[in-house]
Amino acid sequence: MHGIRIPPKSAVKLGPEQLKEYNRQMHDLKYIRGHFIELIIKIEEDINKIIEKSMISKKSRFKTVFSEKILNSRSISLKMKIDIFEEIVRGGKYLRQDEQEEFFKSLKTLIVERNKWAHGPIFYQQDPNLKLQPYLQYINTKGKPSEQKLTKEYFDGLNKKLQTIHEKIEKVLIEMKL
């Protein structure tokens, strides 16, 4: 269950409609979190394929070792993989210069968003109209507690970045014949 934050000296009023809306939002946000994490796993798997293909020959007897001990180990973070991937894409010229900048910016955002959604609790705050507004609490890049208001605009922006990432990774996979 997601918590409801109650400001000091105030009370939350949950009638049948608000309770129904709260339960709907909770259900939807659990789905969104799971879907988002699943997309990130897919993106990471594609990045792993590209790194492996670029660094290890098909005939290498160390291909499995590289995959198991390096790419799929906990010691290599998503950020490290993205840094290696960026070097491969830039060096291989798989994307035009103008495509690269937006793509790599979206990948950097992906790391931040992944950490928010993987580790941050969701809570609700009631507005003056008794509507419950969801927030995602997380630790920002400076190590400070922060909150993300979960709005349609936020999800639209995140979705656009994920779409950009997906399209560009697909283009690289096609260029590399994977």
Domain ranges of the chain: 13-175
Q: Each residue's pLDDT tens digit in the chain (178 positions)? A: 556 655 555 566 777 887 888 888 888 988 888 888 898 899 999 999 999 999 988 888 888 888 888 888 888 999 999 999 999 999 998 999 988 988 999 999 888 899 898 888 998 887 767 678 899 999 988 999 999 999 999 999 998 888 889 999 999 999 998 8
pTM for this predicted structure = 0.80
Q: Residues of 52-70 as b/e, b for ≥16 C-beta within 10 angstroms?
A: bbeebeeeeeeeeeebeeb
What are 178's two structure tokens?
A: 């994977």
Provide the pLDDT for residue 8: 56
pLDDT (tens digit, 9 = 90+) per residue, 108-152? 988 889 989 888 899 888 776 767 889 999 998 899 999 999 999
Q: How distant is the alpha carbon of residue 131 from its chain centre?
A: 27
